[in-house]
Structure 1
Amino acid sequence: MGRAEEFQELRPLLFSIAYRILGSVSEAEDAVQETWLRFEASPAEPRSARAFLSAAVTRVAIDVLRSARVRRERYVGPWFPEPLLADPYADPARAVELADSVSMAALLLLERLSPLERAVFVLREVFDFDYPEVAAAVGRSEAACRQLAARARRHMAEGRPRFDADRREREALASRFFDALREGDVAGLRDLLAADVSLAGDGGGKAPQLARELAGADRVARLLGSVYPRMARADVSFDRHEVNGQPGAIFRDRGGRVLHTLALDVVDGRIQAIRVVINPDKLGHVGPVADAWAVDHEVRHARR
């Protein structure tokens, strides 16, 4: 098998590693492309293409993350990962675990880690690399990697939600949520929300968004129950779609352009968090992007 064929075979794994480290589809794709260039230019034949490529994409992602963290500190409003509609790395035996590791909640927890801790956690805890492989990838000793992994596990365990394991029950609850949303059924929405549910949007200062995170079942239900009927009158529609391994939807304007994505965290039979990504810079990989300001104007006009 030639290098190009080996690379293509491993590309899903490389993207999945890079995305979990970076939380960005576009940056992950760029990291994978840079990894190919390094692989193609390497004069020696690596003993293991998987080890070489995994180490290379990890190092590229760490470098990108270090510079990205400075930009994220100046980000306007809440920062959420770029929505991922499908994880290309498929392992049926670990499907639930992999889906949870790419959830918005897990990726936001990973943001609390240092770039090295994040890379070590992703390689070791998500993709089950052994410590010699992890050490080679991040350029640290095995002992140092064990310490980094232990610190990362502690940080992640402190805040990581326990998603409902039964995917069918989770999808059934999500179906009820989107039915109630479509109907503007405030009472129906309230029944599905956890008492301390949160609703937040990522517009990055480039699209309309909530002034601040909204919390509490009654407040969130009343807002959602009043807003979507007005959106529907402005010809906004939505398609159910898994977002970052969790139930969600893609909202579109009357021309079918992407307005925003919405992802649900379902915990203990209730919706715990609702996260909306409306920053147009984060939606280009989903499809042609709508003019969110124009749609917002139409929605506000539809109120009258």
Structure 2
Amino acid sequence: MSRTEEFQELRPLLFSIAYRILGSASEAEDAVQEAWLRYDAYPGRPASAKAFLSATVSRIAIDVLRSARVRREEYTGRWFPEPLLADPYEDPERSAELADSVSTAALLLLERLSPLERAVFVLREVFGFGFGEVAAAVGRSEAACRQLAVRARRHMAEGQVRFTADRREREELAGRFFHAFREGDVDGLRELLAADVAMVGDSGGRAPLWGRGVFGAAEVARTLAAIGGPFARIGGVVEPREINGQPGAIFRDRDRKIVNTLTFDILDGRIQTIRAVINPDKLRHLGPVADAWAVIREATRTRHPTPPAVP
């Protein structure tokens, strides 16, 4: 097998490692491409292409994450991971586990870890690498990696909430939610929401947002209902999709440009958290992006039409 063929075969795994370390699809793609350049320039052939490339992309991602931490601390508003429509790494026996590890809730928990802890956790706990492979990847001893893994598991367990629901239940609930949203059905929305539901968004200060968030079933239902009808009237489309392994949707304007994505956390048959990514920089990898400000202005005019001019 040629070097190029080896790389292409491993590319899904490399992207999946990098994305979980970075929480950014665009940065993960850059890390994978840089790993290829280093592999292509490597003299001779490593004993294991998988070990070499996994270690290389992990080290690159760790370095990128260290610099990204500073930017995230200065980020305007809440920071969410870039939406991922499909994880390219497929393992049928562990599909549910892999989907859980790429959920927005899990990626936000990973933000609590140091870059080294995060890389060790991803390689060991998500992808099942041996401690020898993990040590080679992050440049630490096996003993140090075991300690990093213990700390990472403890930090993750402290904040982890299991948002459990089988696929059929999630799809059924999401279908009811989006139907009620399109209809502007306040009561229909409220019955799907947990009493203490939170609706929060990531605009990076570059798109319209509802302040620091909207909280409580009544307020969230009213806010959503006020958006849904006008959005549909101006030709907006809600495209249900699985995003980061969880139920969600892409919102598109009449030209099918992306306005935002929406994802849910579900527990006990109710939506606990609604997260929107509206920052256009975090949506470009999904396709052409709409002007969200213009969409909101047009939708608002349908609620408050301009009165006819007096002759």
Give the TM-score, by structure 2 length.
0.96
Shift of 1:141: 0.7
1:256 lines up with 2:237 in the alignment = no
- How many angstroms apart in 1 are the aligned matches of 2:94 and 2:101? 11
Tell me if the contact between 2:165 and 2:269 (Cα under 8 Å) persists in the aligned partners. Answer: no
- Counterpart residue type for residue 266 of structure 1: I
Q: What does residue 123 of structure 1 align with?
A: 123
Count of residues in correspondence between the two structures: 304
- How many angstroms apart in 1 are the aligned matches of 2:161 and 2:234? 36
Tell me if the contact between 1:59 and 1:137 (Cα under 8 Å) persists in the aligned partners. Answer: yes
Tell me if the contact between 2:204 and 2:279 (Cα under 8 Å) persists in the aligned partners. Answer: yes
Shift of the 165–232 alpha-carbon distance from structure 1 to 2, 3 Å rule, reads closer
The residue correspondences of 1:262-273 to structure 2 (distance < 5 A) are 262-273=262-273
Give the TM-score, by structure 1 length.
0.98
The residue correspondences of 1:173-212 to structure 2 (distance < 5 A) are 173-212=173-212
The residue correspondences of 1:165-244 to structure 2 (distance < 5 A) are 165-244=165-244
Q: What does residue 288 of structure 2 align with?
A: 288
The residue correspondences of 1:1-304 to structure 2 (distance < 5 A) are 1-304=1-304
Q: Which secondary structure does the structure 2 equivalent of 1:67 belong to? A: helix
Question: Which range moves more in the overlay, 155-164 or 248-257?
Answer: 155-164
- How many angstroms apart in 2 are the aligned matches of 1:268 and 1:126? 25
Q: Which runs of 4+ in 1 moved over 2 A?
A: none
- How many angstroms apart in 1 are the aligned matches of 2:13 and 2:203? 29
Q: Which secondary structure does the structure 1 equivalent of 2:285 belong to? A: coil
- How many angstroms apart in 2 are the aligned matches of 1:47 and 1:213? 51
Tell me if the contact between 2:262 and 2:277 (Cα under 8 Å) persists in the aligned partners. Answer: yes
Q: Which secondary structure does the structure 2 equivalent of 1:242 belong to? A: strand
Q: Which secondary structure does the structure 2 equivalent of 1:46 belong to? A: coil
Q: Which secondary structure does the structure 1 equivalent of 2:246 belong to? A: coil
**Aligned residues: CA RMSD:** 0.9
- How many angstroms apart in 1 are the aligned matches of 2:167 and 2:52? 35
Tell me if the contact between 2:253 and 2:295 (Cα under 8 Å) persists in the aligned partners. Answer: yes
- How many angstroms apart in 2 are the aligned matches of 1:153 and 1:194? 28
Unmatched segments (≥5 aa) in structure 2: 305-311
Tell me if the contact between 2:165 and 2:266 (Cα under 8 Å) persists in the aligned partners. Answer: no
- Counterpart residue type for residue 121 of structure 1: F
Q: Which secondary structure does the structure 1 equivalent of 2:8 belong to? A: helix
Shift of 1:161: 2.2
Shift of 1:234: 2.1
Q: What does residue 308 of structure 2 align with?
A: none
Tell me if the contact between 2:165 and 2:268 (Cα under 8 Å) persists in the aligned partners. Answer: no
- How many angstroms apart in 2 are the aligned matches of 1:291 and 1:303? 19
Tell me if the contact between 1:96 and 1:165 (Cα under 8 Å) persists in the aligned partners. Answer: no
Tell me if the contact between 2:198 and 2:220 (Cα under 8 Å) persists in the aligned partners. Answer: yes
Q: Which secondary structure does the structure 1 equivalent of 2:196 belong to? A: strand
Shift of 1:163: 2.4
- Counterpart residue type for residue 200 of structure 2: A
- How many angstroms apart in 1 are the aligned matches of 2:17 and 2:193? 32
- How many angstroms apart in 2 are the aligned matches of 1:267 and 1:89? 26
Instruction: State the Cα deviation string for residues 78-121 of structure 1 (Å, max 9, x = none).
Output: 11111000000011111111111001100011011100000000
> What is the percent sequence identity of the aligned residues?
71
- Counterpart residue type for residue 29 of structure 1: E
- Counterpart residue type for residue 210 of structure 1: W
Q: Mark the structure with the bigger radius of gyration.
A: 2
Shift of 1:293: 1.1
- How many angstroms apart in 1 are the aligned matches of 2:16 and 2:193? 31
Question: Which range moves more in the overlay, 218-227 or 55-64?
Answer: 218-227
Instruction: State the Cα deviation string for residues 31-64 of structure 1 (Å, max 9, x = none).
Output: 0000000100111311100000000000000000
Shift of 1:165: 4.3
Tell me if the contact between 1:161 and 1:267 (Cα under 8 Å) persists in the aligned partners. Answer: no
